[in-house]
Amino acid sequence: MANYKLQINGKSYEVDVDEDTPLLWVLRDNLGLVGTKYSCGIAQCGACTVHINDEAVRSCVLPVSAVKNDKVTTIEGLSENGDHPVQKAWEEVDVAQCGYCQAGQIMTAAAFLKKNPSPSDEEIVDGLNANICRCGTYHRIKEAVKLASAKTK
């Protein structure tokens, strides 16, 4: 066990866990930030996506010891009142079915749009393709990313 100081959603946290503990389980089990989801645990679905600095990262395979001083943002901290343009677009397009994958989709989309604020349709598909939605909400995800991009302009 070792002590780790983490910067998450603008706050400091301290946890005492094994160094190989994935950030996902620290967020969920130790810090009560359950918006970040577990689904595959092997970086295959994107449900656990968080931002490390501005990068979308799969927290299920990121050991807590690798986080260091990097700024972690989870779905809970993406915006103060749930009003990030991507969240708003998701609401407007009414994207979700079961909703379980959507935190990861939103985090992926937000990081993607930050790098590429005016993506083409093809770029959107490339950017989001690695996130699985078992309910098949892909059409609406595409539409919502487009809308969020328009909103940010």
Partner 1 sequence: MEKELKTNRRDFLKIFATAGGGLLIGFNWTGCDSPKMKVVSDEEVLNSALNFNSYLSISPTDHVVIFSPNPELGQNIKTSFPMIVAEELDVDWSKVRVQQAFLDTEKYDRQVTGGSGAMPHSWERLRTAGATARQMLMEAAAKRLGVSVSDLKTENGHVIHGSKKLTYGELANEAALIPVPENVKLKNTNDFKIIGTPVKNVDNKAMFTGQPLYGLDIYREGMVHAMIQRPPFGMKLKSVDAEAAKKVKGVKDVLTFKNNVAIVGDSTWPLMKARKQLKVQYEPIDGKLESTAFHNQVFDEMLNTGKGDIKRQDGDVNKAFSSAAKVVKSEYQCPFLSHSPMEPMNFFAHVKADGVELVGPTQTPDRARNAAAEICGVSPDKVTVEMTRLGGGFGRRLRADFVEEAVELSKMLNAPVKLTWSREDDITGGAYRPAVKYRFEAALDRDNKLIGYKLRGVGINAGNCTRENNFPSGSVDNLLIESLEYKSPITTNAWRAPITNFLAFAEQSFLDEVAEAAGKDPVAFRLELLDRAKSNPVGEIHYDIDRMRKVVETVAEKSGWGKKQGVSQGISVYFSHRSYVGQVAEARMVNGAPVLDKIYAVTDCGIVVNPTGADQQVRGGMVDGMGHAMFTNMTFTDGISDQKNFDSYRLIKMKEIPEIETHFIDNGIDPTGLGEPALPPTGGAIANAIYKASGKRVRNQPFMEQEEMKNVKLADPA
Q: Closer to ligand FES at the Cβ: 1 or 42?
A: 42
Residue 25 contact partner, candidates ligand FES, partner 1, none, CB within 5 to 8 A by sort of partner: partner 1
Task: Provide the minimum distance between the beta carbon of 2 and ligand FES in the complex, in angstroms, as a whole number.
Answer: 23
Q: Within 13 Å, how many C-alpha atoms sit on residue 151's CB side?
A: 19
Q: Is 144 in the site for ligand FES (CB under 6 A)?
A: no
Tokens representing residue 90 in the block = 């998701």
CA distance 150 to 70: 30
Residues in the site for partner 1, rule: CB under 8 A? 1, 17-18, 20-22, 25, 28-30, 32-42, 44-45, 47, 74-76, 78, 82, 87, 90-91, 94, 96-103, 106, 121, 125-126, 128-142
Q: Where are the beta strands (DSSP E) in the chain?
A: 2-8, 11-17, 49-52, 55-58, 71-73
List 55's β-bridge partners, or say none. 52
User: Among 24, 41, 30, 25, which residue's Cα sits nearest to residue 107?
Assistant: 24
Residue 32 contact partner, candidates partner 1, ligand FES, none, CB within 5 to 8 A by sort of partner: partner 1
Within 8 A by CB and 6+ apart from 118, the residues are: 149, 153
Q: Binding string to ligand FES for residues 14 to 43, with x set by CB under 6 A, is what?
A: ------------------------xxxx-x
Tell me which residues touch ligand FES (CB under 6 A): 38-41, 43-48, 58, 60, 96-102, 133-135, 137
